Structure 1
Amino acid sequence: MDYRGTFEDDILDQAKLALPNWSIIYGGIGNDSITINIGGAVGEVGNDTIIGTSPLAFAVYWSSPNGVTVDLVKNIALDGYGTVDKLININNVTGSNYSDTLIGNTLNNSFAAGYGNDLIIGGGGYDVVTYSGIKSTDAEITCDASSDTFKVRKISLDDSIDTLIGIGGITFAGPGSDEITITKDNFGNFRKTITNGSAHSGLIFYGPNATGAKVGDYTVLNNDWGAYDLEINKDYTQSIAYSTSNLQSNVVFSWSYPEYGSKYGVWAYPEILWGAENGWGNLNHSHKVSELVNWSVGYDVTISGNTPRFSVMMEIFVTDRPWGTSNVANITEVAVEVHTQWRDPNTPFTYYSDDYISAATQRIYPNANLGTTTQPGYSVAIQTLEDSLSGTISFSEILASLVEKGIVNGENYISGVSMGSEVGVGIGTLQINRFAIMQTTTGDDTVSIDVGDDALDGGAGLDTAVYNTRYAAHNLAPVTGGFSISGPEGTDTISGFERLQFSDKKIAMDLAPSEHAGQALEFIGVLAPSLVHSPSIVGVILGLIDGGTSLQGVFQLAIDIGLVNDIAASSSDAAVAQMAFRNVIGAEADAGMTDLLVSFMDGRNAHFSHADFLTVIAGMEINQVHIDLIGLQQTGVEFI
């Protein structure tokens, strides 16, 4: 609904005028004040004030006789009439039919572009530029990743060229469009439409041909590659079935594709993505290759039907910038093929099967429309030594080989992993029974243990293995360098994991005298040995040490809050010495022993503070024996 003001200075308010959502209010001539909730405000002639009361309020300049300059940082607009508008709480702008300059702020901004050579500069949020009434195929789009700049040539409008800097996405919407959105992800290269080109890209088009869902770190997606090859009005039903609670198992893709025309038929890549999300944004799981201690995937798939052109593969994506930045320059795409029924002879990959990787092909990734600008990248394809529909693939070994060959740098970043099928023709299904990413790094890791027999090394850092079943359902047994854990998930061998988390209990395994849980028990042994098996007390002390407090610092805290005084019944050197002896030895110190211990605090033998003295006692073997630290190292200790 349109509403028009007068030639006077009007005060117009969408809510007070009871105008429906998506109304357009025109100010007319005069210095108007327009308040808009959900809809657009067209100030027209005059020094107008446009006020937004929701994130869906637009300042609209489509009637301006000249190009406009809108700055959402300064909250002003040169409106094309020679007057200046003041913008309050406006984050969305529709430009004129001339060459405009539109500048975003720190929030999420939406810009509607049209005719003219527009310059649109995004701010600190996720900014989108919309083109109404034209198809993505009617525009020539290029992208310079190094400067984070799109160029959009609007061939079907006036053949003008827009420059978009720092923009997160481009949308073609409305009647006459193809309802396609182009967005950046972490992969660093470019594909022109959702039905043409590489399945993985730096600019992802997602539209009506893609179906899928996202749960946690996993995204499931079913894509057509070659819908341009479909026979008109013929149904090629494609379905996807999955549980919304868990995308790591029992995902079923079905297809029915003919071989048609002069091409290879309709290609599809139904897949599960971990880390990188096709069309849904990014998750911050970035790690450097050099930080990965143990990185593998456990998989199990079932195939059926008649699909002669078919393969099952996983792909790893490695980039040279931290994942999530918009200017990734290089990408290495590593395809690990575990099963094949047919291979396209024109594939850009060269397959190797000895020692995982014998060589790699370097390929130039298109970085602009049809490759007019290029950036280097690698495509590496690997066939596993044995064709298998289930097993565990060690990405750590693969990446180590790539680093050795100079294809991947240890300072490169992991951006994501996918698993799926390349389908060329036929009728069939792929059921992914298991797709479990297991990743540990040199930092702190939390790894969910899935069904299957796994071997994991946590490496450096404070690492936690998470089991989604009860503690009593598992059997823990020490093995060389770690533990064997048998339970409903399978039998796992883990090393370098400091904590185990079950559905009902948490167990600390880092019980060496120099490790966090070991020090927590040493502390308790000196002050309150009867509480060594109290999960809540262990949890409190362990939390302090995990948080960076030293053992000496925890003792000093106990002194500062009066805990040591309460237990020793005095703050004197003698009382502290007698308390420590009593708790560690289990007997009272006589006068001679008390005097000897005090001499380490009064300067005769040493000048220990009380905290220093208690720390030394805690680290003594006699304290470790009396709390049975060696025995607990075989079972772990419960904490809350």
Structure 2
Amino acid sequence: NIIGSFSNDTLIGDSGANNIDGSNGDDTLKGGGGDDVLDGGDHSSQGDTVDYSDATGVVTVNLAGNTGSSTDQGSDTLNNIENIVGSNQGDTLTGSTVNNTIEAGTGNDTIHATDGSDTLDGGGDTDTADYNSSHFNSSGTGITVILNGASNGSVVHGSDTDTLKNIENVIGTSNADSMTGDNANNTLTGLAGNDILKAGLGTDTLDGGDDTDTADYSGHANSGITVVLNGSGVGTVNDGTYTDTLRNIENITATDGVDTISGDNEDNVINAGAQNDTINSSGGTDTIDGGSGSDTINYTANASGLTVTLAGSSDGSVAKGGNTDTVRNIENIIGTSGIDTMTGDGSNNSFEGNGNNDTFFGSAGNDTLDGGADTDTVNYSTISGGVTATLVDVGDGSATKTTGTDILKGIENITGTSDQDTLIGNSSNNNLQGGAGDDTLRGGDGDDTLNGGAEGSSGDTVDYSQDSGSVTVSLLSNFATDGNGDTDTLIGIENIIGSDNATGDTLQGDNSANTIDGGAGGDNILGGAGDDTINGGTGNDTINGNQGNDTINGDAGDDVIHGGFGNDTLDGGANTDTLDMVGNVTGPSDTPDDITVDLSATPDAQGYITVNKSYGGGANTGTDRIKGFENVTTDHGDDTLIGDNANNVLTSGQGADTLRGNNGADTLNGGTGNDTLEGGAGADTLNGGDDNDTADYTNDSNGVTVNLQTNSATDGGGSTDTLSSIENVLGSNNAVTGDTLTAHSTIANVLNGQGGNDTLTGYAADQLIGGA
């Protein structure tokens, strides 16, 4: 037995059962072999220490229980001991409620912490500080652990702070603990409570235990990590050098590098940090914050479709089956094989639809929208300012909007804005929806649905200008057949742009006010009941305005233009154009309407002359303004057609018509009825047609020679007219030379010399009138 002094003693027993009393002072007691009783007595500042460093067996010490033992030295009773020095084996050391200093030595030791501000030194090898005790668990407050290798780390618990050295592993409490590892291979075990485990360098094991726990890698260098969560199974975190093991971790706080994080079926909270991160979402109701950079959530592991609404740094949402994720600072989404609906925000978003029929709602920013397989739609109805969108078969399509330009891939359908849009399809069966505003829709190949939506001030336009073949478009029947034989369905379309095919298009309006552009080629264009604007374009077009007050421009080419009902404005344009007045009478019961067209009349300031017309026996009266016409055609009524200085073709139908060519080499066709044809100056062709027709040379200033047997006439100016189906002749009033008029030998003619000394030659049944 030994009793120490009042100083700091070192007392060492032998192999027997010793009783060692340190008395006063900070004493160190070594029991040696045997079952010893070691009493530190009163201490000064550092406390009394039991020292098992000489033991060769495993040491177990519990200061709170006043026991200590070694497998090679027996079992000791410990009183008034504050500090422990362990052996070089794997010891289990437990302090008391006072401030303990525990040095474990080498070996894989476990130090059970207790109350007080303790110093725990694991020594060599892999050592564990264990805070899982009723004292800590019942406090309701977790611990805060910071490991620091051989330097001073710390554990804050309540009002006390422990100092840790050479501790690699920590077992926490059942409360919400925060543990930070160091550069060693740490094992941090959170137990119950919502714990935060911060891995350092090294190959660590982070076990959150029960409740909702977080692995925090925000303190790592910016090299990025790859995380795979696996619930209670083994998950991993790889930083390119080390691979950590995760168990019972629900949440991840990643680095400021480029991270890839795969969640599990728990309700994960993932904070990705800076840089361009990728989060692979699985089941559960997750909260995902991408942080700065352009971040992506990949939902390909989800079987059902998504409804995505991004909201920048505010809370957006992703509904996936029965769960809904909360997302912040997410720019990009990779969808599922189901039907996905994705709505972007003001960032530069990238959406990938994968399979099935997906819908993307465009927003501000320069977005990339990839529909993947099946039939996918981009919808711009939620933005303003109009959009110009072009789909392509190979490569990237585009959509230009006021807030940026989108890249479109694998998109078949487009819905435009409420403003003026231009939507262009590809070879798929596109569905182009213009929405409100004056939209232009171009379907391309395929059986397309082109829906203009609510029209603006000018109406919606279907555009076939890029078709290589002729097209047939009927707004009245709501269909179009393109040059490849595809059939489009037209809805809410007011205007047409035809193709440039040389064969020409067949274009028909409806009851609204249409604008129809024929393009190149010889087009056949029929307006509807509205006030239409029709441009024939180049080529020899046939245009009928039908009803309404139409504006028709033939443009280049030899056009035939019929205004139809209403007060029309008609411009033949370049080349040789025909004003078609056929159809002035709507039915046989109507009284014929007399039409007068004088191409030589004095035009107004815009170059137009006025033609009064009446349709249906005066029931539908109209007045046309015309210019740029060389030829005129009428049918019923006693019409008067007068040419100008051009080479006119004037053709009348039924009725007693008067045709006057004026200057130029004119062709006058009388049709049925007793017509009067006056060629005027130039070598004219006069065809009287049926019935009893008259060639009129009254206004010739010189004498004329007319021979109905040879069907020719030479006027005083030396020009020779060609006559056909002429029964009667009116000579000139020239008083000097007079006329020479010769009747046909077998047809009863009327020859009227009028003024001058004329020579009239008749045959049987002819009537010869000398005139004045």
Q: What is the TM-score with the length of structure 2 in the denominator?
A: 0.24
Higher relative contact order (CA 8 A, sep 6+): 1
Higher helix share: 1
Q: Tell me the TM-score normalised to structure 1 length.
A: 0.28
